[in-house]
Amino acid sequence: MRERSSYLYSPIAYFISKVVSGIPIALVATGLFTVIVYYSTGLNDLYGYKIYIYYGTAILMSICGNTYAYFLASFVTTPNALATGNVVSVI
């Protein structure tokens, strides 16, 4: 990373750009998840607005999960440790 080694941007700018660039992917993936899970588990009822509450909650959880993964990855220096990090975060 030539830009990082020459201090062209701060770590917070890199972090914010990673989170913002992941939002479109999170919207699509969580949308598919929401439609499948919401209707297959019988959560649908007469009021149609509750799916939007569920979708909003799922989006926030997805973005927070991705942010937490970036936080954990900041402590890792080798690729082999990434596999161990996934197991530790699940426990």
**pLDDT tier for residue 83 given thresholds of 50, 70 and 90:** low
Distance of CA 14 to the CA centre of its chain: 16
Query: Distance (Å, rounded) from C-alpha 85 to C-alpha 91?
Result: 10
47: pLDDT strictly greater than 90: no
Query: Distance (Å, rounded) from C-alpha 61 to C-alpha 76?
Result: 23
Kindly state the tokens that stand for 81: 């440790």
Query: Distance (Å, rounded) from C-alpha 30 to C-alpha 24?
Result: 10
31: pLDDT strictly greater than 80: yes
40: pLDDT strictly greater than 80: yes
Please tell me which residue, 32 or 91, carries the higher pLDDT value.
32
The neighbour count for residue 70, using CB atoms within 10 Å, is: 14
The per-residue pLDDT of the chain, averaged, comes to 79
